[in-house]
Chain A
Amino acid sequence: QVQLQESGPGLVKPSETLSLTCTVSGGSISSYYWTWIRQPPGKGLEWIAYIYYSGSSNYNPSLKSRVSISIDTSKTQFSLKLTSVTAADTAVYYCARVPSRDGYPPYYFDYWGQGTLVTVSS
């Protein structure tokens, strides 16, 4: 059974960098897209970015200037960095898997991590 687990600090100071890692177990990291999503308390879901196992990536333009995603296939992990955070970045951050047939649609999120709450506060 594929499992994803987010890890990283639960509290980040304003203007600093939020760093999260998602560890994948029970399955291969190859031949999939891997993605980050966030959900502010009491609000809806926002897609942040995805990365293909080969390293190609795509970002939400609303965050593109501050976000980067990377992958380490040897550790079966992928990571998110979000710079210059503000209180508006307080959210539960989820990682998820996106299956695809050789990189083609349909795209959907079939396995999710449990989520980790990141609070931006001094």
Chain B
Amino acid sequence: DIQMTQSPSSLSAFVGDRVTVTCRASQSISSSLNWYQQKPGKAPKLLIYAASSLQSGAPSRFSGSGSGTDFTLTISSLQAEDFATYHCQQTYNTPWTFGQGTKLEIK
């Protein structure tokens, strides 16, 4: 199985900050990397697919980059509604696997 490792596991930031979350795959996954946002008690919501494509309806302050084994999710200017847990996912090979999540909290 391909292991996905996110860092950091948790992060505190202020509204307006630029925030970056990283995801590393245990082997190359080309650009087969997705990012989801999850708020407490809710289903995850797709933000970025294929490493850098913004899902329709997702705010443009979210962006993704990377290929191979190293990927980043960037929020250009943090808004109050962005405080949530972020998950990366690889769909290069089955079993499709997720990172452990990064919890973004208000400082």
Contact = CB atoms under 8 A, between A and B. Distances in A.
Q: Do A and B bind each other?
A: yes
Interface of A: 44-47, 58, 60-62, 94, 105-110, 112-115
A116 to B, nearest CB: 11
Nearest to A109: B46
Contacts of A46: 98
B43 A94 contact: yes
Contacts of B53: 106
A113 B42 CA distance: 9
Interface string B65-101: 0000000000000000000000101010011111111
Q: Is the interface of A mostly helix, strand, loop or mixed?
A: loop
B91 A107 contact: yes
Q: Is the interface of B mostly helix, strand, loop or mixed?
A: loop
B101 A44 contact: yes
A45 B6 CA distance: 13
19 contacts: A44-B87, A45-B87, A46-B98, A58-B94, A61-B1, A61-B95, A106-B31, A106-B49, A106-B50, A106-B53, A108-B46, A108-B50, A108-B55, A109-B36, A109-B44, A109-B89, A112-B43, A112-B45, A114-B42
Nearest to A92: B43
A83 to B, nearest CB: 19
A44 B50 CA distance: 21
B34 interface: yes
A19 to B, nearest CB: 20
Contacts of B46: 108-110
Task: Identify the interface centre among B31, B42, B87, B98: most chain A CB within 10 Å of its CB.
Answer: B98
Nearest to B30: A105
